Chain A
Amino acid sequence: MSSVMYERMRVNPKFQELVRKRGSFAWTLAAIVLVLFYGFFLLVAFSPALLGQKIAEGSMWPIGYTIELCLFVFFWLTTVVYVRRANGEFDELTQQLIKEAQKEKL
């Protein structure tokens, strides 16, 4: 029975739309996080002195600390962005998809 349901959903163009949209959204965000994270680690490995400097003359804020604080906030914001869209737009699409598959006559 559920195999029939899965088949109906799979052929629904909305399913392709869901998979494409959510997939590219998730992978884009993942790529952003990974690039920033490993990019930051490369900075740590290859120019530690730069990260230790202050952001401006007379300021006590070190560049490294400031960047990292922003990364903490930014990474968390990416989760907010993803959860809002996935729990809103994508879940709505999913619900439509399931409803349409259930409505179809056997």
Chain B
Amino acid sequence: MMSRVLSALSLLLLHGLAFAGPAMDAGGAKQATNWHAIIMFLIFVAMTMGITYWAASRTKSTADFYTAGGGITGFQNGLAIAGDYMSAATLLGLTAMAYTQGYDAYIYMLAFFAGWPIILFLMAERLRNLGRFTFADITSYRLDQGKVRTMAAISSLVVVVFYLIAQMVGAGQLIKLLFGLDYNIAIFVVGILMMVYVTFGGMVATTWVQIIKACMLLFGGTVTLILAYSQFGFSFTDLLQKVEAVHKLGPKLMAPGSLLADPVTAISLGLGLMFGTAGLPHILMRFFTVGNAKEARKSVLYASGFVGFFFNVIFLMGLCAVIIVGQNPDFFEGGEVGKKLIGGGNMVAMHLAKAVGGNMLLGFLAAVAFATILAVVAGLALAGASAISHDIYARVIRKGQATEAEEIRVSRFATIGLGLLAIVLGIMFEKMNIAFMVGLAFGVAAAANFPVLILSMYWKGLSTRGALWGGYGGVISAVLFVLFSKSVWVDVLGNKAALFPYTQPALFAMPIAFILAYVMSKSDTSARAKAESDAFEDQYVRAQTGFGASGASH
């Protein structure tokens, strides 16, 4: 039970679906068509299409396509990272969790937030100084280009595909609920818009979609909170007194509940959250869109400011909703307080918007949720396409001999391929329990991408052999741990008992990757390993000073 709750939580936290977990069963019923939301969403689409049209004229070189020519400022990139990081599940799932579980939601928000300072202190400037288009540029910097890039591209694609499936299925269900559109239509709308943004506008368009969406999300959330909080005279004391008086948990609402009672799963989840974020290809890629290490650092400063602010906003929104939504019979099925919420547990934020701002605010917030999904899938598609076109096609297959035009053409085809794949898989997986997919994506990111990446930047001794063992070992062990855990072995495959007792792979798969990389590098006495170790010296100076780093082309 415990692990089920935790896996459900990790799922909704890790930007996946807004729908999972015992307390948040989405009704799944199709709602009446929501015209306010659809009109506002169409305005968003029109705006982003305009930007894509403008971006297309500025997307000429591979640098434009993958990294917007490195011309994004730290502030813009901070907003875009926040837009990439805060999903529909953050808005809907975490508000719902604050509403039902109180303080536990706040604890998870901190876990979700604390990775950012660490990324800043230990990774941001080295990423910027060493990388160009993909994080495989860094891992293969002084190692075997062909083999290490192939490995990094494979683990990137595993992360991207599982993450995309989770986003697509979540999107279909969410849109059905919020807009009253058919599931398959919703999947096609998301898939096609994503392909248009990325194929024509590349990173420039993707970045602006994420920036606009982040502003809408911050604005919509803040307005909702101000309107709701004003009903309590902006007094936290007043709010808590009223909330504790009516909530079924009473004063326990603001104490840690049962969610972190199992320390192994909790720590594994924490590790997966913190280091998974630091290994997500679409997040890492954002560090290459700024001109230099200075702007890369500023990106994290702004991103973590927005993310931290927004978590505090949605936690308070959830608490306000306990009174404003939870005590209003209009929002319950059959008009009876305490029954099932109309539309399911995830509708708390939407009901709150309606209660304090009417249909206008409800429509706005629903449009924000839709825009949020688009921004996240566009970032994923671009990261996946760059692994195919830059790493596999241009570097491994053509060995750096491909022209920029050829490489861009391949990345456009790759984007369309990924978009079609996402649509097909989104439809295939509609009825399946996909709770494991985001966990798997984060597990692979934390256990395969992160260890090899951090070792390649910090440890002179890492050799090609060690990187390959660590990388593949991390992918395989993360996948197997998830496969044998309850969320797949029991919930999807229908077996009686799980072979692996925990649902979170990070605590176990990460050490496997690190140990394999260490042992296989240490025992590698080949001449190549020696040369690779010697090449670390120059890489180290570049990582520290940024001299020779690919710069802004605009």
Contacts and interface: CB of A to CB of B under 8 A. Distances in A.
A78 B117 contact: yes
A6 B547 contact: yes
B185 interface: no
B240 interface: yes
A75 B255 contact: no
Interface string A71-106: 111011011101100110001001001100100000
Given A9-B545, A9-B547, A52-B251, A40 B117 contact: no
A2 B121 contact: no
Nearest to A32: B117
Contacts of B492: none
Interface string B96-140: 000000010011001101101110111001000000000000000
Q: B-side binding surface: helix, strand, loop or mixed?
A: helix
Interface residues of A, number: 52
B120 A6 contact: no
A79 B300 CA distance: 8
B295 to A, nearest CB: 9
A79 B122 contact: no
A30 B118 contact: yes
Given A68-B110, A69-B312, A30 B255 contact: no
B260 A45 contact: yes
Which residue, of B106, B540, B545, has the highest number of chain A Cβ atoms within 10 A? B545
A30 B542 contact: no
Contacts of B547: 2, 5-6, 9, 98, 101
Interface string A1-44: 01101100110000100110010001101100110011011001
B548 A2 contact: yes
B541 interface: yes
A87 B120 contact: no
Contact of B298 (A5, A87, A97, A101): A87
Given A2-B547, A79-B301, A94-B546, A64 B254 contact: yes
Nearest to A30: B121
Contacts of B237: 59-61
A94 B538 CA distance: 15
B248 to A, nearest CB: 16
Contacts of B546: 94
B103 A86 contact: no
Contacts of A91: 293-294
Contacts of B236: 60-61
A62 B544 contact: no
Contact of B263 (A2, A45, A78): A45
B294 A72 contact: no
Interface in B245-264: 251-252, 254-257, 260-261, 263
B294 A75 contact: no
A75 B266 contact: no
A82 B542 CA distance: 20
Interface string B202-245: 00000000000000000000000000000000001100110000
Contact of B297 (A2, A15, A86): A86
B255 A62 contact: yes
Contacts of B27: none
Interface string A48-62: 110111000001111
A76 B255 contact: no
A32 B67 CA distance: 33
Interface in B296-331: 297-298, 300-301, 304-305, 308, 311-312
22 contacts: A2-B548, A6-B537, A10-B540, A15-B541, A15-B544, A30-B121, A33-B118, A37-B110, A37-B114, A40-B110, A45-B260, A45-B261, A52-B255, A62-B254, A64-B103, A68-B110, A78-B117, A79-B116, A83-B297, A87-B294, A94-B544, A101-B547
Interface of B: 103, 106-107, 110-111, 113-114, 116-118, 120-122, 125, 236-237, 240-241, 251-252, 254-257, 260-261, 263, 266-267, 270, 293-294, 297-298, 300-301, 304-305, 308, 311-312, 537-538, 540-542, 544-548
Q: List 10 tightest A-B contacts by C-beta distance, closest first.
A: A52-B255, A48-B256, A62-B254, A6-B541, A60-B237, A26-B121, A60-B240, A30-B121, A6-B538, A37-B114
Given A33-B118, A51-B255, 15 more contacts: A6-B537, A10-B537, A15-B544, A22-B544, A26-B122, A29-B117, A30-B121, A33-B117, A45-B260, A45-B261, A52-B103, A64-B103, A75-B304, A76-B304, A80-B301
